[in-house]
Amino acid sequence: MLTYLKRASYLPIDIGRLKRYFKGNILLDTPLARLTSFGVGGSADILLYPKDIEDIVTIVEFAKDEGIPLTILGRGTNLLIRDGGISGIVVSLRGGLDNYEFADETIITGAGLSLPFFSKLAMENGISGFEFAWGIPGSIGGAVVMNAGAFGSNISDHLEEVLVVDMDKKVKKYLPDQLKFSYRTSIFRKQREKIIVSAKFRIVSKAPLSKIKDKMREYERIRKNTQPVGAKTAGSIFKNPKGDYAGRLIEKAGLKGMRIGGAMVSMIHANFIENIGNARAKDIEELIIYIEEKVKSETGIKLTREVEILGYGD
Ligand X SMILES: Cc1cc2nc3c(=O)[nH]c(=O)nc-3n(C[C@H](O)[C@H](O)[C@H](O)COP(=O)(O)OP(=O)(O)OC[C@H]3O[C@@H](n4cnc5c(N)ncnc54)[C@H](O)[C@@H]3O)c2cc1C
Catalytic residue annotation: 184, 236, 306
Could you say whether residue 85 binds ligand X (CB under 6 A)? no
Task: By CB under 6 A, name the one of 70, 79, 81, 249 that touches ligand X.
Answer: 79
- In single-letter form, the type of residue at position 205 comes to S
Minimum CB separation from ligand X for residue 300, in Å? 26
Q: How far is the CB of 65 from ligand X (least distance, A)?
A: 21
Closer to ligand X by CB, 185 or 299: give it: 185
In what side-by-side order are the strands of the sheet with 70-73? 25-31, 43-49, 86-92, 70-73
Give the binding range for ligand X (CB under 6 A) out of 81-89, 209-217, 227-235, 297-305.
Answer: 227-235
| Best CA proximity match to 294, nearest among 233, 243, 238, 236 | 238
Q: Radius of gyration (Cα) for the chain, nearest Å?
A: 20
Beta pairing, strands 79-81 & 43-49: unpaired
In angstroms, rounded to a whole number, what is the distance separating the alpha carbons of residues 9 and 129? 45
Binding pattern for the stretch 243-282 against ligand X, x by CB under 6 A and - elsewhere: ----------------------------------------
Q: Is residue 137 within 8 Å of residue 116, measured between CB atoms?
A: yes
Contact region with ligand X (CB under 6 A), list: 173-181, 188-196, 214-222, 285-293: 188-196
Residue 51 Cβ vs ligand X, minimum distance, rounded to whole Å: 14
Among 41, 74, 88, 96, binds ligand X (CB under 6 A): 74
Cβ neighbours for 155, distance < 8 A, ≥ 6 positions apart: 115, 133, 140, 143, 144, 146, 147, 148, 149
Binding track, positions 291-310, relative to ligand X; x by CB under 6 A: -----------------x--
- Chain positions 30 to 59 lying near ligand X, rule: CB under 6 A, are 37
- 196 forms part of the interface with ligand X (CB under 6 A): yes
Q: Is the alpha carbon torsion for 56, 233, 118, 31 positive or negative? A: negative
Label the pairing between strands 86-92 and 153-154.
Answer: unpaired
Size of the site for ligand X (CB under 6 A): 31
Rounded CA-CA distance 62/56 in Å is 10
CA distance 202 to 193: 27
CB-wise, 68 or 299, nearer to ligand X? 68
Stretch that binds ligand X, among 70-78, 211-219, 243-251, 291-299 (CB under 6 A): 70-78
Burial of 10 by CB count in 10 Å (0-12 exposed, 13-18 middle, 19+ buried)? Answer: middle
CA distance 219 to 183: 20
Q: Which stretch binds ligand X (CB under 6 A): 203-211, 232-240, 278-286, 296-304?
A: 232-240
List the one residue from 75, 82, 200, 280 that touches ligand X (CB under 6 A).
Answer: 75
Per CB under 6 A, contacts with ligand X among 124-183 are 136-139, 141-143, 145-146, 148-150
Q: For binding to ligand X (CB under 6 A), which residues are involved?
A: 37, 72-79, 93, 111, 136-139, 141-143, 145-146, 148-150, 184, 188, 195-196, 233-235, 308
